[in-house]
Structure 1
Amino acid sequence: MVRVNNGRSNVANAAARAKTRRAGLIDSTRMRQLLQQGPDTIGISIGDMGYRNEIDLYAPRLSGADLIEAALNHNLDADLETVLGFCQGRLKSTVAVYVKRFSYQNAKTVLRAIHSGADIEMVSGQVLPEENTSNSKWLDIVRNCDSLSDAVAAMSGTPWGYALSRLEADASLQEMEDTLDSAYYRDALDAIRGPDSPPLLEKYIQVEIDHRNIINQFRGLRQGINGEDRDALMIGGGKISKAVLKTASMADSNEGVLEALRRATSFDDTGFDDAIQASATSLDPVVSLLQEQRNSMMRRFSYLNPLSAFPVIHYIESKVLEVQNIRLLVRGKAAGLSDEVIEAHMNL
């Protein structure tokens, strides 16, 4: 578990550097310009927008959307390392709590690869490219483990490994993934709570938990998961009470779930009716609405707290969003989707 320490921080310097980096990200205007380009020219343009080194690294063996996605992920990993590197003391520990989520995501990726029996050549070539040295420890697990239980043992000594070790030996992949989600948020909240901890960061993480639970409610209903099992999917620690979530789990329609959620004073239902109506074939409108709520909250917290961890975390959030948008764009182009459909799925 990451613990927030009280060492000397360099908040002013780190916040200034984070703001400068955020100003250099691809804005909505340039993202829409990318959307107008053909598949053959998007890679060149993205290279000129800060991803040249990674594209050149993977170009000898990858092309098209696979090339761009590998470059995006590599660039993001390097960026996270750089940002943590220019943070010091308590600030670094606070930012590390947020960044640790990406390790939990990689743990899930490894478990999925092992569970599916994916060939190590495919994993190291596309899923966790070996050119990215931060993938080495994850690839070693895939290479040396034949079962999920082997993988759990190989992850011992890590927070995610500890969480998995507490499950039954025959736990399913889904149970492991659910455990990792819950463990990350539980550990994150434990790490940042305290008399000198940033209360607004705790609030933000609680909102993230609520949003994960809201999405799981609607997704579970769509998938026909019964109320008891939907309730078991809920992650603890959010602002929305267990009682409200349980009531939502028992609902048998989108309207019923929404009605239950509205009983929580912390639930912002602005735009939800329209998002639900637009979600006949996909939950993307709901996901996008919640993403925008978090983006707005992060912008506000960063603006109101310029000498804090928020400008740094705001940059990381913005960088992740940039990577997600480009990934959606190139995958959508590769699938032959129209520009209108692709843009509707992006967060601009």
Structure 2
Amino acid sequence: MAEISSGSAQYIYVCTRMRVRRSQLIPREDYLRMLNMSLPEITRFIEDTGYKAEIDELATAFSGIDLVEVALSWNLAKEYQNILNITPGNLMRFTASYLRRWDIQNVLTILRGKAQGTSAGKIREVLIPAGALDRVFLDRLLVEDSPDRIVEALKSTRLYPVLEREFPRAVETGSYARLENELYKGYYERLLAETKGEVKGGRVFRNYVQLEIDIRNIQNLFRLRSQRVTEDVRDMMIPGGSFTVDELQRLALIEGRDEFIDAVKKQVSLPSLLNTLEELRGVRPIREAETGLTRVQLEQMDRMSKRYPISITPILAYLEHKKYEVANLRALARGKEANLPSERIQDYLVM
């Protein structure tokens, strides 16, 4: 039974629209076909799907990989904003909060790009202005002449307290990893805070956010193991999921991969997650582990959207599947531009 049960025709309309849009995304068989296409052929294929308006509009200013990159970014941002415009009540509030993750990604992309001397134009091509920081604000950040000035320009945003605390260390160490992790910890903390109390629809939203935190933490554990990180990892974990940070620390200290997977399996009950963890035994590339766990997240989101058809979950399911469609198309285009073999490109696709 749907947790949001007001009977609002607008709620029903929006959730139905999301399921229709989800069904129109590119299917697995088309990705497999594109693996055998050239970059111009992939561009024409994309133009024949939902990206025609952006391809046509940008074709006079861009070509090749740049055309694909910018068209994908524009399309994703426009689609997310369109969804916000038609979403009512708490559904809109939860969706807007969820999309604030793009503020973190965009700010980090700008900071890293500026630090590496990348031109403002190249940075702009991959920004997704889908959060609270719109394209006009992001363009103002891009004209700043140093990362320090960019941080100062963010004083009025909710990202600033973490940036003020962590940015000097990022500059000193040359790594933005801790800054990025702290920003996401704050993001998830705020998402969970929004679901507390008796807010309508909050329980379903909280369940999904906790699932996402769990998947992200398990992915981080696999990544840290691949990097042979052995120090205290509690600061690298995101609180609020079904694992405490102390439990995650104990898991991180387990040496053998099979023993690690057995220990994780003892603390989860989701069948698809248990099956994926079992498949990850033995020597596997970290990318394979991350992709497999992402598939678990998407599959569980689809199940939740069917169980709660008039709730935030059909919207979240579409947002995430659309995000990975764009990521897949970007991986295909970049792979073809770099003349990578199809088998290697396929490893980066979430299908």
Scaled by the length of structure 1, the TM-score of the pair is 0.87
User: Residue 325 of structure 1 contacts residue 346 of structure 1 at CA under 8 Å; is this kept in 2?
Assistant: yes
Structure 1 residue 188: Cα displacement: 1.0
Structure 1 residue 253: Cα displacement: 4.2
User: Residue 152 of structure 1 contacts residue 164 of structure 1 at CA under 8 Å; is this kept in 2?
Assistant: yes
User: Residue 111 of structure 1 contacts residue 151 of structure 1 at CA under 8 Å; is this kept in 2?
Assistant: yes
SS at match of 2:156: coil
The 1:105/1:263 distance shift into structure 2, 3 A limit, reads same
Structure 1 residue 78: Cα displacement: 0.2
User: Residue 47 of structure 1 contacts residue 55 of structure 1 at CA under 8 Å; is this kept in 2?
Assistant: yes
Q: What are the within-5 Å matches in structure 2 for residues 211-230 of structure 1? A: 211-228=215-232, 230=233
Alignment partners' CA distance in 1, 2:77 and 2:283: 34
Q: What are the within-5 Å matches in structure 2 for residues 276-291 of structure 1? A: 276-277=281-282, 279=284, 282-291=285-294
Show CA shifts across 1:209-264 (max 9, x none): 11111121221222232321x33211111111223201122233433432442342
Question: Between the two proteins, what is the percent identity of the paired residues?
Answer: 27
Alignment equivalent of 2:276, drawn from 268, 271, 278: 271
Alignment partners' CA distance in 2, 1:259 and 1:145: 50
In the alignment, structure 1 residue 157 sits paired with structure 2 residue 160 = no
- Consecutive unaligned residues of structure 1, counting only runs of 5 or more, are 1-5
Alignment partners' CA distance in 2, 1:80 and 1:127: 15
Alignment partners' CA distance in 2, 1:146 and 1:9: 49
SS at match of 1:277: coil
Most deviating of 330-339 and 75-84: 330-339
SS at match of 2:25: coil
Alignment partners' CA distance in 2, 1:118 and 1:36: 31
User: Residue 54 of structure 2 contacts residue 75 of structure 2 at CA under 8 Å; is this kept in 1?
Assistant: yes
Letter in 1 for 2:276: G
Show CA shifts across 1:259-293 (max 9, x none): 442342457432324324352xx312111211111
The 1:343/1:117 distance shift into structure 2, 3 A limit, reads closer
Show CA shifts across 1:68-95 (max 9, x none): 1211111000000000000112211011
In structure 2, the partner of 1:170 is 168
In the alignment, structure 1 residue 295 sits paired with structure 2 residue 321 = no
In structure 1, the partner of 2:107 is 107
In structure 1, the partner of 2:309 is 306
SS at match of 2:183: helix
User: Residue 231 of structure 1 contacts residue 246 of structure 1 at CA under 8 Å; is this kept in 2?
Assistant: yes
SS at match of 2:311: coil
In structure 1, the partner of 2:173 is none
In structure 2, the partner of 1:141 is 141
The 1:113/1:265 distance shift into structure 2, 3 A limit, reads same
The 1:147/1:105 distance shift into structure 2, 3 A limit, reads closer
In structure 2, the partner of 1:71 is 71
Alignment partners' CA distance in 2, 1:252 and 1:145: 46
In structure 2, the partner of 1:20 is 20
Structure 1 residue 294: Cα displacement: 1.0
Alignment partners' CA distance in 2, 1:181 and 1:19: 28
In structure 2, the partner of 1:3 is none
Show CA shifts across 1:183-229 (max 9, x none): 1111111112221343122121112111111121221222232321x
Alignment partners' CA distance in 1, 2:293 and 2:347: 15
Structure 1 residue 153: Cα displacement: 2.1
SS at match of 1:50: coil
SS at match of 1:98: helix
User: Residue 76 of structure 2 contacts residue 128 of structure 2 at CA under 8 Å; is this kept in 1?
Assistant: no
Moved over 4 A (4+): none
Alignment partners' CA distance in 1, 2:26 and 2:208: 24
In structure 2, the partner of 1:209 is 213
- Consecutive unaligned residues of structure 2, counting only runs of 5 or more, are 1-5, 171-175
Q: What are the within-5 Å matches in structure 2 for residues 171-186 of structure 1? A: 171-172=169-170, 173-186=176-189
User: Residue 9 of structure 1 contacts residue 92 of structure 1 at CA under 8 Å; is this kept in 2?
Assistant: no
Alignment partners' CA distance in 2, 1:69 and 1:256: 42
SS at match of 1:170: helix
In the alignment, structure 1 residue 323 sits paired with structure 2 residue 321 = no
In structure 1, the partner of 2:3 is none
In structure 1, the partner of 2:97 is 97
Alignment partners' CA distance in 2, 1:129 and 1:295: 21
Most deviating of 84-93 and 269-278: 269-278
Show CA shifts across 1:91-134 (max 9, x none): 1101112212112211211221233233334434x44499xx94
| Paired residue total | 334
Alignment equivalent of 2:249, drawn from 234, 240, 246: 246
Alignment partners' CA distance in 2, 1:304 and 1:45: 34
Structure 1 residue 176: Cα displacement: 1.7
